A and B are shown apart, each in its own frame.
Chain A
Amino acid sequence: MSEDKNSEKRKASQKRLSRRDFLVAGGTVVAVDALIATTPAKGIAATAPAAAGTSYPASKGYLVYDSKKCAGCTTCMLSCSLVHYGVQNPSRSRIQIMQDSWGKFPNDIKMSPCRQCVAPVCVQNCPVGAAFVDTANGNVRRINSNKCIGCKTCIKMCPQQPHRPVWVVINGTGKSSKCDLCIDSPYWDEKGGPGGKQACVEACPMMAIKFVSQTPDQEQTEGYDVNLRNDHWINLGLVDNSTVVPTKSLEWKVGGGE
């Protein structure tokens, strides 16, 4: 496991968060007052958060996705839990795919990988520095489970819905975890992180998840939810607009039946 020593040295006592500060991310405005008030661990609020306005180097890697291309097979979720924990369990997955079987396309699926936020609220508010920016590995926003005290602050602070930090039980103890772009994937013989491979990207049969190094638009959901389809997809008869006509006929060339 490679950790950012500089980040680890960031002392909780150095962090301060104004009670008047508000977090603004992804179109969601969250009052910090209320969030800290709901933090379950006692006595930590005063020790931790980084100063408002603290800036972090941007991650050198992001996962973008195409929610119209996703088929909901959840292979990405199971790949994630496998390479990180050696088991298959969607509740441990750092990417969540939710679907409503009766829903109407495209609102029947929601894909929720971690955004590796430019302003990482999880890192900013972790009271013990367990959430950190891994400057040794492309500035990926990570959580050191050995340091995590299970206060769930990162979970409660994450402005995304569903929250991207994931609660997992390790050896009987609850911890937060989050997408590390597969930097620490002990059950996979591949190098992860920026410049490496990500299990969800590699395993997705629809090629609906992609690693990019350019920072997506932070203000709009569409910055991460992109179009990864080409004409081959349209020729399957899968369009997102009824005015689109595949270049190849979908009719049967010969008649008959079973």
Chain B
Amino acid sequence: MTGGYTGKILRVNLTTKAISTIATSKYEEFGGGHGIGSAVFFDLVGDQLPFEAFDPRNLIIMMASPFSGTFMPGSGRCEVQGLGPMLYPIEWFGHSNFGGRFTAQLKFAGWDGIVVEGASAEPVWINIVNDKVKIESAKGIWGMDTWDTQEEISRRVIPSLRYGEWAELAENCFTTQIPAVVCCGPAGENKSRLGCLLHGPGSQAALCGFGGVFGSKKLKAISAIGSGDVPIADPKAFMKARLWFRQFQWNVDNPRDADKFEGGGPYSLISGRPSGGNVLNREMPLIPARAAACASCPRGCRMRLASGDSNESVCAGTMVINVDGSMKFTRQGNDLMQRFGLGHWQLMPLMSYVQSLAREGVLGKGKQVDTNLPLDQAGTFGYAEALMRQIALRQGIGNDLAEGCARFAEKIGRYKQDVNSGTLSLAYWGTANHYDPAIEAEWGFGSLLGERDLMLHMMSNYPIHWMAWSGSPYLTAEECAKLYTDAMEPYQGDVFMVDHSDGPTGIYSDSKVKQVAWIKHYEKFWVGAGGFCGWRWPMCITNNTADRRGPTPQAEPKFWNAVTGKNLTFADYMEVGHKIYTLDRSIWVLQGRHRNMEVFPDYIYDRPSRGHDMTMYIDGKWKYDKGVGRKLDRAKVEDFKTKFYKFEGYNPENGYPTRQTLEKMNLRKVADALKSKNKLG
């Protein structure tokens, strides 16, 4: 290992209090991040599956990537893995990730990742200062919200720390940075399946309910601070690549086509411009603010405001709580969600469902689902606070709501009815519906063939969706299809990968199979193993260049090779992504996955689509079209799945990976494990 890695992964057993290391080199073939995390999970507990997420055998794996701690643009997210208690009907081996600067500090401290196993009898937190690691008592911290927790832990890590001064971490080791802390809130402590992990004021690992797993382990937080080096194999090439990348960034002083892309509208999301992720500071008078970036991100999609609220929250982190008539209380309501440690992506459909049941007369004081929630005050800060408090502390109805949408609905006997009707707007494995699978099929299929909502915004549908929807696309549909698919190595040249029609080259076609495979492989390697931000990568098209071509697929291997010293191609790394996806899928199979489970709720098939502007090839011509009224065809979806399993090397009868596929990927032991359970494809 020459560059990018520190060489060791921290292993902490909270039951025995043993602290040890795993050599990163043992897992180098998986790249980093998600890839190494999956391999470690399989090695440590794969033979014990299935078991439950709150079982002490479950692991929390938090992996950095070779890019973490470097200035690789839009990288450095922390990949969290383990059995996810909010996933349904099985708590799949899941993943979530968060931005900020945690993995950067972890790398500077000398660690490529953390594996936490077991469970403590008493509340604890893990204190990492360079190579010194301690399991500390969380006495006085357990019970705090996420913000107070981080402040208190920073104080305990470096008592002499003063903002704006150097601090001595150890002899000859200095930093001006503050400890990076990730923690659960009260929701996680109480094993809520909605419990997120929070770092900073607004960086959530929202999906999967890993805050609840922290709580089940009596683990309140992990803090990392370091002063060491991240080695770079070819520093000159890395610097050259970084400066080459500037052409793809939003030029803050002189943006290309400013008249078109400045101001409001969907381009604030997809143009790569700073601060566009926080939607809560757009009304006049504006609150003075800065764009705030995660470590090394050239975009800076977040904000920090002069009011100090809504700092570093973006997208759903600013959208779940809406207080009628008050932007200020809307910001503070969403901040309260962060402080309770409630995952935004789970809380959003749950709040809608509660309102829906109330409107139906099923839920309320003295009703079938009895609650003292002030339902008549919905839309106020007080209502939002009461609801979140009950969920986080498992008070009243909150005890059932803390089980998450799907399990709550199941408990009141309405799951099948409400999820199939769409009253409960879940779509894949207990996570909320997002983009319409009937139109933006790659999002739907990519989620269904995974373990949770895809949540990869820069995959094809997202930049195309918003560009087209702006009413002023910067590419024609034909140009878009060509440029986009030109970047999709190794399947480049098949323009129909982004055909979103339901015609012969559309959403059920062989081309769509390739696109979904490309997405899963990119997800597992570049986003997962590389720590990329899903709001930044891939970049197949961009408004920031004259020819509208993005840095994908040139940039990814250019940076990776400069950092690590390897000399592989984009396609080589995508094949590693295929391998990681296959390993993940094998773990799901060991948990009980079968192709028969990979189906959408009825409403996804039966409810006519409202339509979305996307690239479609209709009657021999490319156009942006909506597909209004379209329904997913069950038989064609099943046919699509069959083609996908074959394409990926899985048995189409059950979706299980085959021995041939696994051995070709040097995953013989995985094949043996599946064979021992009679689940080899």
Chain A min CB distance to B145 (Å): 12
Point out the residue from A87, A89, A237 that lies within 8 Å of B282, measured CB to CB.
A237
Chain A min CB distance to B247 (Å): 12
> Residues of A contacting B88 with CB < 8 Å?
none
8 Å CB interface, B283-335 against A: 284-300, 303-308, 311-312
Question: Is B635 on the interface with A (CB-CB < 8 A)?
Answer: no
Q: Are A250 and B304 in contact (CB under 8 A)?
A: no
User: Given A202-B243, A236-B273, A251-B282: A91 and B175 within 8 A (CB)?
Assistant: yes
Q: Are A102 and B147 in contact (CB under 8 A)?
A: yes
A105 to B311, CA, bound (A): 10
Question: Is A146 on the interface with B (CB-CB < 8 A)?
Answer: no
A85 to B238, CA, bound (A): 13
8 Å CB interface, A206-258 against B: 206-207, 230, 232-233, 235-246, 248-254, 256, 258
Q: Are B176 and A103 in contact (CB under 8 A)?
A: no
User: Given A71-B292, A237-B275: A244 and B286 within 8 A (CB)?
Assistant: yes
Binds A, one of B253-261, B364-372, B390-398, B601-609: B253-261
> Residues of B contacting A233 with CB < 8 Å?
252-253
Q: Are A101 and B235 in contact (CB under 8 A)?
A: no
Question: Is B620 on the interface with A (CB-CB < 8 A)?
Answer: no
A169 to B228, CA, bound (A): 10
A242 to B175, CA, bound (A): 35
A207 to B246, CA, bound (A): 11
Point out the residue from A71, A162, A202, A236 that lies within 8 Å of B166, measured CB to CB.
A162
Count how many chain A residues have C-beta atoms less than 8 Å from C-beta atoms of the other chain: 74
> Residues of A contacting B294 with CB < 8 Å?
73
Q: Are A189 and B252 in contact (CB under 8 A)?
A: no
> Residues of B contacting A78 with CB < 8 Å?
69-71, 296
8 Å CB interface, A88-145 against B: 88-92, 96, 98, 100-106, 108-110, 112
Q: Which residue of A lies closest to B307 (CB)?
A: A104
A186 to B177, CA, bound (A): 26
What string of 1s and 0s marks CB contacts (under 8 Å) between A167-200 and chain B? 1010000100000000000011100000000010
Q: Are B163 and A87 in contact (CB under 8 A)?
A: no
8 Å CB interface, B224-266 against A: 227-232, 235-236, 238-240, 242-243, 246, 249, 252-255, 258, 262-266
Question: Is A64 on the interface with B (CB-CB < 8 A)?
Answer: no
Q: Which residue of A lies closest to B472 (CB)?
A: A253
Question: Is A16 on the interface with B (CB-CB < 8 A)?
Answer: no
Q: Do most interface residues of chain A lie in helix, strand or loop, or is the interface mixed? A: loop
Point out the residue from A83, A205, A256 that lies within 8 Å of B252, measured CB to CB.
A205
Question: Is A27 on the interface with B (CB-CB < 8 A)?
Answer: no
Question: Is A148 on the interface with B (CB-CB < 8 A)?
Answer: no
User: Given A105-B288, A108-B290: A167 and B264 within 8 A (CB)?
Assistant: no
Question: Is A15 on the interface with B (CB-CB < 8 A)?
Answer: no
Q: Are B230 and A242 in contact (CB under 8 A)?
A: no
A82 to B71, CA, bound (A): 10
Q: Are B176 and A88 in contact (CB under 8 A)?
A: no
> Residues of B contacting A90 with CB < 8 Å?
108, 175-177
User: Given A88-B70, A101-B304, A108-B304: A162 and B164 within 8 A (CB)?
Assistant: yes
Q: Which residue of B lies closest to A235 (CB)?
A: B262
What string of 1s and 0s marks CB contacts (under 8 Å) between B470-512 and chain A? 1100000000000000000000000000000000000000000
A88 to B254, CA, bound (A): 29
What string of 1s and 0s marks CB contacts (under 8 Å) between A57-85 and chain B? 00000000000111111110011011101
A238 to B266, CA, bound (A): 17
Q: Are A253 and B265 in contact (CB under 8 A)?
A: yes
Point out the residue from B172, B242, B292 that lies within 8 Å of A203, measured CB to CB.
B242
Q: Which residue of A lies closest to B299 (CB)?
A: A205
Q: Are A205 and B235 in contact (CB under 8 A)?
A: no
Question: Is B376 on the interface with A (CB-CB < 8 A)?
Answer: no
Question: Is B435 on the interface with A (CB-CB < 8 A)?
Answer: yes
Point out the residue from B73, B230, B281 that lies within 8 Å of A237, measured CB to CB.
B281
> Residues of B contacting A110 with CB < 8 Å?
163-164
Question: Which B residues contact A (CB, under 8 angstroms)?
Answer: 69-71, 73, 100-101, 104, 108, 147, 151, 163-166, 172-178, 200-201, 227-232, 235-236, 238-240, 242-243, 246, 249, 252-255, 258, 262-266, 268, 273-276, 281-282, 284-300, 303-308, 311-312, 434-435, 469-471
Question: Which A residues contact B (CB, under 8 angstroms)?
Answer: 68-75, 78-79, 81-83, 85-92, 96, 98, 100-106, 108-110, 112, 161-163, 166-167, 169, 174, 187-189, 199, 202-203, 205-207, 230, 232-233, 235-246, 248-254, 256, 258
Additional 13 contacts, C-beta under 8 A, given A89-B230, A203-B243: A71-B290, A71-B297, A74-B295, A78-B69, A89-B229, A91-B228, A101-B292, A102-B201, A162-B166, A205-B252, A206-B300, A236-B275, A238-B291
Q: List 21 A-B contacts (CB under 8 A).
A: A72-B300, A75-B242, A90-B175, A98-B178, A101-B292, A101-B304, A103-B311, A104-B308, A108-B311, A163-B166, A187-B236, A207-B253, A242-B288, A243-B285, A245-B284, A246-B263, A248-B262, A250-B263, A253-B470, A253-B471, A258-B435
